[in-house]
Amino acid sequence: MRRLISPHFNTRPPSSVVDLIVLHAISLPDGEFEQTYIDDFFIGKLDTSAHPSFAGLENVQVSAHFVVSRQGEITQFVPCEQRAWHAGQSSWQGRESCNDYTIGIEIIGDEKRPFTDVQYTETARLCRVLMQHYRRVLPERIVGHKDIAPNRKWDPGKQWDWARFHRSLVHIQTLNIEVCY
């Protein structure tokens, strides 16, 4: 697993226990799936003059714990024990501030094209490893960004096949990888 360190994180509140995984979708610029701009965005080095759509991203501080590329490669940006800034204003089952108790996984994609086979496999594999470490995270506690910010976010979107993902989650073999550094 590749690791890049994002400066966009902080300490979780002392009473927080990770018990939810939030799946997101991202493409920068919209509809393009190269990871370079996403990496730069999460590590705070995005050249906002590189594309007209980046103008609104000037000084935006966002991160996720992980990104899954179109080829299934996983990059970790924030240690799991830290609070990544992926959820924004959010709530799950009456609990506010989802960043406090979630792991955020960005999957490179959009609402126009299907996600890749390997993205389902590797996202499921990553979730299984996280579920082994965070025993309170159950399959039904893996949700989309749209579920925790329904009036604000759409992702992972209509192209993400939740039934397929859950089948992968059940059948995937986990590897002994260290993700919770």
Overall domain count for the chain: 1
Question: Half-sphere exposure of residue 156, counting CA atoms within 13 Å on the CB side?
Answer: 27
176 found inside a domain: no
| CATH number for position 41 | 3.40.80.10
* pLDDT for position 175: 59
151 found inside a domain: yes
* pLDDT for position 81: 96
Is the pTM above the cut of 0.75? Answer: yes
Amino acid at the residue 91: S
181 found inside a domain: no
86 found inside a domain: yes
Give the orientation angle of helix 162-171 with respect to helix 117-133, to 10 degrees: 60
* pLDDT for position 176: 60
179 found inside a domain: no
> What is the full DSSP assignment across 70-130?
TT--EEE-S-TTEEES-S-S-EETTEE-GGGTEEEEEEE--SSSPPPHHHHHHHHHHHHHH
The residue annotated as part of the active site, out of 34, 106, 111, 140, is: 106
20 found inside a domain: yes
User: Which domain, by its residues, includes 86?
Assistant: 2-171
Query: Residue 108 pairs with which residues in a beta bridge?
Result: 26
* pLDDT for position 146: 97
* pLDDT for position 174: 64
Instruction: Give the tokens for residue 130.
Output: 């996280």
180 found inside a domain: no
* pLDDT for position 171: 84
Q: Are 130 and 64 in contact (CB under 8 A)?
A: no
**Can you tell me the distance from the alpha carbon of 79 to that of 69, in angstroms, rounded to the nearest whole number?**
18
Could you confirm whether 106 is annotated as catalytic? Answer: yes
Question: Half-sphere exposure of residue 100, counting CA atoms within 13 Å on the CB side?
Answer: 13
Tell me which residue of 74, 80, 95, 110 sits closest to 147, measured CA to CA: 95
Mean pLDDT of the chain: 95
**Can you tell me the distance from the alpha carbon of 120 to that of 106, in angstroms, rounded to the nearest whole number?**
12
Residues counted in the chain: 181
Compute mean pLDDT per 10 residues along the chain, 181 residues long, and list them.
Answer: 97 96 97 96 97 95 98 98 97 97 98 96 96 96 97 94 94 66 58
145 found inside a domain: yes
